Structure 1
């Protein structure tokens, strides 16, 4: 397992699909994972330190784990099959719970928990970014500094107000 950091979220064009971008802590590979808009917002909220007036789902799960004395100790991104990523939440008791990577990352950011990724996942889906392409990564980071959670809201559905 290799430790990864969350670089941020963005909307991939032209598909308008949000992605979360992870990077090896001690390496040059990046791991893009396509996620849902709700999870993108949850990750962006956590990265920006936004505290909603009432707990959102990931905040609630964090509070439940802490209240039961079984906090999140680590998130593991364990597999990728046919473009679908899999993760495991490792709790303080040692219990492991299967979860989507997007939810796992949102929870890890709220708890300060370490995120690790299986070497095989990075081998299969990771992208090595040579030093000369770091400019593009820096532009992406600048974009992330400007993005707001509202950028991930889709068009209003009929009947939404």
Structure 2
């Protein structure tokens, strides 16, 4: 399977799920984005390493790194390897110089480890095709954007999306991406996928 290199583009609090964060990954030489909703503690572990903050005591992912190095294991790469029923799965590829070991992990943990070992992060074309969101279009109809983004309505976002045409969904998806509202964009993408 073709691997695509990813980079971390952003990490922001979730607007709809208290205590959750949207981690946005982007393909290295493209305009597709892969938003993943992660927990608060995992977001903290990622943010601490991105910002190069030294905690007073080692965090779990730092412990993993120390443990691996003590037994002469290195991490070679991380792959977001699967998407089942809207849930992402990842694999950590390790080696002791003689044999390679593959460890299943949550993407948030695998990414926190990738940052600590300074190794590349990948996904497969099939996953990016299914769950990726294309960024970059700027021609959205104001009425569709108004209904989804600006108008406070008692209906949930999912209810609003269900009543929109496929054309409007694509247009407001572009608006959400241009505003870097990746969690909202992920919900719009899921509605589009559901209809296909």
Counterparts in 2 of 1:36-115, with a 5 A limit?
A: 36-93=39-96, 94-115=100-121
For 1:24 and 1:131, locate their aligned partners in 2 and report how far apart those are by CA, in whole Å.
17
Question: What TM-score results when the alignment is normalised by the length of structure 1?
Answer: 0.80
- Higher-RCO chain (CA-CA 8 Å, sequence separation at least 6): 1
For 2:17 and 2:39, locate their aligned partners in 1 and report how far apart those are by CA, in whole Å.
12
For 1:104 and 1:45, locate their aligned partners in 2 and report how far apart those are by CA, in whole Å.
15
2:126 aligned residue (120, 132, 135): 120
For 2:21 and 2:14, locate their aligned partners in 1 and report how far apart those are by CA, in whole Å.
6
Q: CA deviation at 1:19?
A: 1.5
1:24 aligned residue (5, 19, 27): 27
Superposition misfits of 4+ residues, deviation over 6 angstroms: none
2:179 aligned residue (132, 136, 139): 136
- Measured against aligned partners, the alpha-carbon deviations of 1:47-87 in whole angstroms (never above 9, x if no partner) come to 11011111100000011111211111100000111111000
Indicate the RMSD between aligned Cα atoms, in angstroms: 1.8
For 1:51 and 1:66, locate their aligned partners in 2 and report how far apart those are by CA, in whole Å.
19
Q: CA deviation at 1:92?
A: 2.3
Q: Which residues of structure 1 form unaligned runs of 5+?
A: 141-161
For 1:131 and 1:106, locate their aligned partners in 2 and report how far apart those are by CA, in whole Å.
31
Question: What TM-score results when the alignment is normalised by the length of structure 2?
Answer: 0.66
